[in-house]
C-alpha cells in the first residue's frame, strides 16, 4: 500500500481545516541561541506554505536536540520558529508548550492561512516513550489540536526512523499524508540504492566508524568505490597495521573493519583510504600541525601523541579525481574537523569536487550539509542536499523506517 500524498490532501480541500505538519526544525544553534544553519527550516517552508495558501490552519510539530522529556530552555523550538517566520513571511505564532493550555488556545484560535508552532515535542515524555500506550495517549492529544476534520502530514524525513508519537502514532490517529520533502528524499534514496548510474562513488567521513557499520556493510555490495575519510579512517588504517598515534580509534571495531577490507579485496566495492593526514599537536584551531604519510603518522616532529584531524592534500586530490570520474556520488560525513580552518581542507576539496562534477550528487545531511554551507557552498551546487541524516543512513542500510510504514498503513 502506497502512502497518500500532499496532493491527495489538497485535492480534498483544506480551507478551514486544521492540519498538523511534522516538520524538521532540528537546526544547530550557537551559544546565544542563534540558528547557525537554516537549511532544514528552508526545506520545511514549501509544504507549510502550500497548506496555508490553500486556507489550512497549520499546526507545526517539531523537535530540537535531545531534551529528556521535560522543558529545557536551551532546547526551545522558539529560535527555529522565529527563523521560520522570518524566511517564510507567514503569520507564525509560537506556543509556550506542546499540548498544554497555550498550544490548545492558540490552535483553537487560528484563522485560515495562519501557522502555529508548538514547543519542542520532546519536552513531552510520551513523545519518545518505549511504552506504546504512552505514545498513543500523547498522539491523541496532538490530534485534539486539529479538532474535527483534522489531518496529519509528515514532512520530516529526518525523523522517520524514530518510532515517536509525532512521527508514528499520530499517523494512526488522523488521516495521514506524505509531505513533499519525504517524497523527494525517497525518490533520491531509491535512485541511489535501486539503479544508480555507474560508477557509483560513496564518500564517508565523520568521527566514528561504529556510526556507519551497517551502511558500509550494505554499500559494499551496491557502490563501486567507498572513499573513507574523517576520524573513522584511522580505524581502517590501524586495521592495516599502521600506527595512528593519538588519533581517534575504535579498537572494538578493528575485526569488523578487517572483514570489510577483506570483502573489498574479494570483489566488493573498492575501499579507498587516505594516503596522507594532517596531524595536530592538540585539538585546537591554532595547534601546530603537519602533513604526514598515512602509514607513518607518528614519525614526524609532533610524534606519537599527534592527532589526525583531516585527510591530507594528496588524499583530497585523489578523492576529488575519483569523484570527477563518477556518475553518481553520495557523501555523508566531513573529512576532518571542518569547523577549524587548518583542518577544513579535505572537506572543502571534496565539496568542490561534488560541485564541479556533472554527476548526480547527494550530500547526506547532518554535519555534511552544515559543512558545505559553512564553507560557502550553495545548496544549488549539489544535486540534492538531504535533510535526513540518520534516517537516510538507515534507509540505505535497508531498514524499515517506522514513520514510512505508518504512512503506508502497515
Q: Judge whether 109 counts as a catalytic residue.
A: no
- The cell for 108 is 483553537
308 is in an annotated binding site: yes
16 is in an annotated binding site: no
Q: Which residues have C-beta within 8 Å of that of residue 195, sequence separation ≥ 6? A: none
**C-alpha atoms less than 13 angstroms from C-alpha of 252 in its C-beta half-sphere:** 4
366 is in an annotated binding site: yes
Q: Per the residue annotation, which of 208, 218, 263, 399 is the catalytic one?
A: 208
Q: Which residues have C-beta within 8 Å of that of residue 332, sequence separation ≥ 6? A: 202, 203, 204, 205, 206, 212, 215, 363, 364, 365, 366, 368, 392, 393
346 is in an annotated binding site: no
Q: Judge whether 33 counts as a catalytic residue.
A: no
380 is in an annotated binding site: no
Q: Per the residue annotation, which of 17, 22, 40, 135 is the catalytic one?
A: 40
270 is in an annotated binding site: no
267 is in an annotated binding site: no
Q: Per the residue annotation, which of 100, 299, 383, 390 is the catalytic one?
A: 390
40 is in an annotated binding site: yes
120 is in an annotated binding site: no
Q: Judge whether 208 counts as a catalytic residue.
A: yes
Q: Judge whether 300 counts as a catalytic residue.
A: no
Q: Per the residue annotation, which of 206, 229, 364, 366 is the catalytic one?
A: 366
339 is in an annotated binding site: yes
How far apart (Å, rounded) are the C-alpha atoms in residues 334 and 141? 40
212 is in an annotated binding site: yes
65 is in an annotated binding site: yes
| Cα distances (Å, whole numbers) of residue 315 to 42, 292, 318 | 34, 11, 5
179 is in an annotated binding site: no
Q: Annotated binding site for (2R)-3-phosphoglycerate, which residues? A: 40, 122, 162
Binding residues: 24-26, 40, 63-66, 122, 162, 212, 308, 339, 365-368
Annotated binding site for ATP: 212, 308, 339, 365-368
User: Which residues are part of a known binding site for substrate?
Assistant: 24-26, 40, 63-66, 122, 162
**Catalytically active residues, by annotation:** 40, 208, 366, 390
Amino acid at each position: 500500500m502506497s502512502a497518500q500524498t500532499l496532493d491527495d490532501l489538497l485535492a480534498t480541500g483544506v480551507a478551514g481545516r486544521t492540519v498538523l505538519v511534522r516538520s524538521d526544525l532540528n537546526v544547530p544553534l550557537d551559544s546565544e541561541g542563534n540558528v547557525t544553519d537554516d537549511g532544514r527550516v528552508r526545506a520545511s517552508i514549501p509544504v507549510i506554505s502550500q497548506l496555508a495558501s490553500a486556507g489550512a490552519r497549520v499546526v507545526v510539530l517539531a523537535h530540537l536536540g535531545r531534551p529528556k522529556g521535560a522543558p529545557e530552555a536551551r532546547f526551545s523550538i522558539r529560535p527555529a520558529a522565529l527563523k521560520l517566520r522570518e524566511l517564510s513571511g507567514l503569520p507564525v505564532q509560537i506556543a509556550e508548550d506542546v499540548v498544554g493550555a497555550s498550544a490548545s488556545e492558540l490552535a483553537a484560535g487560528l484563522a485560515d492561512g495562519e501557522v502555529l508552532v508548538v514547543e519542542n515535542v520532546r519536552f513531552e515524555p510520551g513523545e519518545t516513550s518505549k511504552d506504546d500506550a504512552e505514545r498513543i495517549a500523547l498522539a491523541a492529544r496532538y490530534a485534539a489540536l486539529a479538532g474535527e476534520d483534522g489531518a496529519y502530514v509528515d514532512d520530516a524525513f529526518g525523523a522517520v526512523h524514530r518510532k515517536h508519537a509525532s512521527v508514528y502514532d499520530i499517523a494512526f490517529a488522523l488521516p495521514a499524508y506524505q509531505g513533499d520533502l519525504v517524497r523527494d528524499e525517497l525518490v533520491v534514496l531509491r535512485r541511489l540504492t535501486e539503479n544508480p548510474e555507474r560508477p557509483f562513488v560513496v564518500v564517508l567521513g565523520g568521527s566514528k566508524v561504529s556510526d556507519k557499520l551497517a551502511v558500509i556493510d550494505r554499500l559494499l555490495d551496491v557502490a563501486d568505490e567507498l572513499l573513507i575519510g574523517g576520524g573513522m579512517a584511522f580505524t581502517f588504517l590501524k586495521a592495516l597495521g599502521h600506527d595512528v598515534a593519538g588519533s581517534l580509534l575504535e579498537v572494538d571495531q578493528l575485526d569488523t573493519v578487517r572483514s570489510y577490507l577483506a570483502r573489498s579485496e574479494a570483489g566488493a566495492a573498492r575501499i579507498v583510504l587516505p594516503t596522507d593526514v594532517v596531524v595536530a599537536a592538540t585539538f585546537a584551531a591554532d595547534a601546530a600541525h603537519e602533513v604526514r604519510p598515512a602509514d607513518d603518522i607518528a614519525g614526524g616532529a609532533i610524534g606519537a601523541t599527534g592527532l589526525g584531524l583531516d585527510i591530507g592534500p594528496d588524499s583530497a586530490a585523489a578523492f576529488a579525481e575519483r569523484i570527477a570520474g563518477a556518475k553518481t556520488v553520495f557523501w555523508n560525513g566531513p573529512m576532518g574537523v571542518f569547523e577549524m580552518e587548518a583542518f577544513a581542507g579535505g572537506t572543502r576539496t571534496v565539496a568542490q569536487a561534488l560541485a564541479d562534477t556533472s554527476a548526480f550528487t547527494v550530500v547526506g545531511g547532518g554535519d555534511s550539509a552544515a559543512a558545505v554551507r559553512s564553507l560557502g557552498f550553495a545548496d544549488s551546487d549539489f544535486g540534492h542536499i538531504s535533510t535526513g541524516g540518520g534516517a537516510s543512513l538507515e534507509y540505505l542500510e535497508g531498514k524499515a523506517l517506522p514513520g514510512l510504514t505508518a504512512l503506508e498503513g502497515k
